[in-house]
Chains A and B, each alone.
Chain A
Amino acid sequence: MTRMAATRDGYGQALLDLAENPKVVVLEADLGKSTKSLHFRKAHPNRTISCGIGEQNMLLVGAGLAASGYIPFASTFAIFTERAFEQMRNGVARPNLAVHLCGSHGGTHTGTDGSSAQSIEDLAVFRTLPNVTVLHPSDDVSTRILTKRLAQTNSPSYMRTARNKTPVLYDDTDPESIQIGKGITLKRGSDVAILACGVLVSESLDAAELLQQEGIHATVIDMHTLKPLDTELVNELVDTCGALVTAEDHNVIGGLGSAVAEHLVKNTFAPLEMVGVQDRFGESGQADEMLEVMHLSARYIVDAAKKAIARK
C-alpha cells in the first residue's frame, strides 16, 4: 500500500530538523496550524514570531532578521503570499536577503475552500523575481529534504506546498539525489518526456502507466525546482524523447510550462504540450474532483503526451 502524505507535513518536519541551528527562526501569519510550522512553535516558542494576520509585515520582519544573521522561514497560504509580493520584491529579493517563504495550500488541489484559496499564479509571480529560488516539491520526503537544503543557501526562496495527501515517492530514495535545481528522473522512456511538479508528479506516473499499456514509453521527471530550471536535463530530454509535456496545478501562464518553453525556444526545439490550469479560476470541489474539472488528471496528461508525440 502506498503511503500517503501532504507536502506541508514535510515542511513542518524539516523546520523541526533545522531547529538545532540556533539561527533558524520561524515566522507565522496565524496559519501555523495549517502550514505546519506549529510543531516548531511548540518546541521553540522563543524562536517563533507571530505576525498576526499580516503577511506584508511578516516578509519584512523576515528581511530584518536575515540582515541580522538569522535564517527566517515564513509561511502562510500560497494565495496570501501574493499579497506580500512587493515586500518580497523590494525588501527581500532586491537586497538578496535569505528569507524563505513557504506558501502552503497551493493550487486547485486545495479543494473545497474554492477559488479564493486556490493559488494558481504564485509560482509565476515569484519566478519573475531575480535572486529567488522557486520550488514546488511533490511529496513529504522531498519537501523535508529540500526545505533543509534551503537553510544552506544565501538567497531567498519561495516554496509551494500542498494541503492534501498524495502518494509518497521517495521513502527509499537516497537523499543525495534530491537537490535544489536538479530534476529527478522517476521513470525512463524514449517516446515522450513528462516534466511535472507538485501534486501532478504522481498523476504523471499514473499517466506513464496508462501510456505504457498502449505501447508508448514515457520518461517522467519530478521538476521540483522551477527556478533555476534544470536546463541541462531539458536538453537531454529533447535529445532522448523529442517531445515534451509539462504538468502543473497552476496557470499555464508563467509556471513550469512557461519556464520550459522559455528555455526551449531560445536553445533547442521539441514540441511541448502544457497540462495546467487553462487561465481560469477554480471552484469548490474535492481535490480529486478538481484535477478532473481543471483537466489536470492522468488522462489529460496522456492526451497531451499523444499530442506532443504527434507533433514530432
Chain B
Amino acid sequence: MSKTTEELEELARKCRVEIVKMVHRAQAGHPGGSLSEVDLIAALYATRMRVRPQQPDWEDRDRFILSKGHASPGMYAVLAEMGFIAHEDLKSYRVLGGVCQGHVDMKWCPGVDFSAGSLGMGLSFGMGCAAAARLDGSERRAFVMIGDGEMQEGSVWEAAMAAAHHELGNLKVILDRNRIQNDDFCEEQMRMFDIPAKWKSFGWNVKEIDGHDMEQVMEGLDFLEAPENCNGPSILIAHTIKGAGVSYMENNPSFHGAAPNDEQFHQAMVELGEVVA
C-alpha cells in the first residue's frame, strides 16, 4: 500500500475533478467540504484501509465512516478510484435509483459503512464498530471523519466521552477543520475556541496537521496508527481549506452547498489541470 507523495497528490487531483463533475452534473450537492476532505480520504484509502473492493462487505475490514455524509462526492470519487464502484456510477449522484445517493448510504453504495447525512451520528456508530472489533478480538479499526461545524452537535461529545472511557484504541477520527459551515464561517455561527484542548481534555490523543500537505497527511495517519496511540481513541485535526483546489470555491461559504455553473465548471477543470485553458 505504499505510494509516493506525488502518486497520492495525483490521486487526489483526479478525485477533485470527479467531485466538481458530479456536483456540476447534478446541479446540486456539496463541493466545498468534499474538496477539503479529499486529500485525507484518498490517502487513507490508498495507504491504510484494510479493505477488499471486490468484497465490500468482508466482515473483518476496516471501517470508514463519513460522518459529514453530505460531503459524499469526495468519498464516492475515492471509492471509484479504489474500485468499489465504477466511474460510471458517479454519474448517478443525486439521480433517482442511483448508487450515489445525495448523502452516503450503506444500503445503496458498496464500500459505504454507514448511512450518514444527519450530523453528529458517525462517531457514535464508529464507536460501536470499534467495540465490536474488540469483542471479536480483531485488529480491524474504525476510522471516522467528522466536520468542524459538526462538533456543535452535542451527541459528538457524548461519543467522545464514551469512547475515551472505554479506551477504544481502535477508533481513529479525522477532523476536517475547514472553518466553514452551511450558513457562514464557523467563527460567526458558533465559536469553538481551543479544539485540540477540548479533545485532549476528553481523554483523546491529538495531533494537528495541514490537511492538504500530503507529507503531513501521511505523518498524521502514522500518528493514528502508532502503537503508542492505541491506548485510547485518537483524533487527527486536519486544517483544511473549504473548496480547496478551485480558486473561487476556496474559503467561500457560498460553495458549501452549491453547484458551479458551466463557465465556473470550465474554469475549475482548467485549474485542476484537466483541460487546457
Contacts and interface: CB of A to CB of B under 8 A. Distances in A.
Interface of A: 25, 46-47, 49-52, 54, 56-70, 72, 86-87, 90-91, 94-96
Contacts of A25: 135
A67 B158 contact: no
Interface residues of B, number: 32
Q: Point out which of B106, B118, B130, B131 has the most chain A C-beta atoms below 10 A from its C-beta.
A: B131
Contacts of B162: 50-52, 54, 57, 61
Contacts of B132: 64-65, 68-70
B104 to A, nearest CB: 11
Main secondary structure of the interface of A (DSSP, over half): helix
Main secondary structure of the interface of B (DSSP, over half): helix
Given A50-B165, A57-B124, A70 B115 contact: no
Contacts, number: 106
A60 B131 contact: no
Contact of B131 (A49, A69, A86, A87): A49
B125 A63 contact: yes
A106 to B, nearest CB: 23
Contacts of B118: 86, 90-91
Interface of B: 59, 105-107, 113-115, 117-118, 120-121, 124-133, 135-136, 142, 154-155, 158-159, 161-162, 165-166
Nearest to B132: A68
A61 B131 contact: yes
Contact of A52 (B105, B114, B161): B161
A195 B127 CA distance: 41
A60 B135 contact: no
Contacts of B165: 50, 52
B107 A60 contact: no
15 contacts: A25-B135, A50-B162, A52-B158, A56-B154, A59-B124, A60-B155, A61-B127, A64-B125, A64-B129, A68-B129, A68-B132, A69-B59, A69-B136, A70-B135, A87-B121
